[in-house]
Every structure is written in structure tokens, then in C-alpha cells.
Amino acid sequence: MINFIAVVVAIASVLAALGHVGYLALLNNAANKRAGGAPVAQYVRSRWPIAGGTTAASLLAWLFTAGGTGMDILAIVLAAGSGAVAVKALQSTQAKYRSGG
């Protein structure tokens, strides 16, 4: 049962981290196509280490789910932490560049 919980939390964490990576990629693509997009591209470059770190930590947590109960507990803690950081970073980036359509 604990393994199932660990796997679900790890997958959710990976999805959150990849969501942040995808959003940054879209922002970077739009900034590179638009004249005057240099400040946005510079901001995106400053956010890549956070996105990469949370993605790596989430994938590591998912890998930990292949171990025993102790590794499952460690995977839950690592995945929950990295997922929370990824979601917070994504929300921060979205709030900065959200247009009032």
C-alpha cells in the first residue's frame, strides 16, 4: 500500500515539474520570436535551474519507489517536496506573465 502511495506522489511530482518545464519552454519560444522579448528570455534562463532541479528530484523519487518501504517513505518526502517547489515556481512564473485577456 505504501508503495502505491509513493508511486502516485512521485508521478504527480514529475507531472508538476514537467508542467513547469513546458511553460518555460513556451515562454522562451514566444520571447525568441518577438522583438523586445529579451527580458522575458533572460528571466526564463534564470528559471531553468529550478525547473531542471525539480524534474531531476522528481524522477529520482520515482526511481526510489522501486526499493523497499524505507525507500518508499524517502520517495514520498522527496517527491512531495520537489512537486511543491515546482508548483510554486510555476505559479510564480504564471503570475509574472499572465495577461489579462
**58 touches 13 (CB < 8 A):** yes
In the chain, the amino acid numbered 47 is: R
The structural domain count of the chain equals 1
Q: For residue 4, what is its C-alpha cell?
A: 502505491
**pLDDT tens-digit profile, the chain (101 residues):** 999 999 999 999 999 999 999 999 999 999 999 888 899 999 999 999 999 999 999 999 999 999 899 999 999 999 999 999 999 999 999 998 876 54
Rounded to two decimals, the pTM is 0.89
In the chain, the amino acid numbered 78 is: L
**3 touches 65 (CB < 8 A):** yes
Question: What are the φ and ψ backbone dihedral angles of 31, each rounded to 5 degrees?
Answer: -65, -35
Task: List the domain range (segments joined by +) for residue 37.
Answer: 1-99
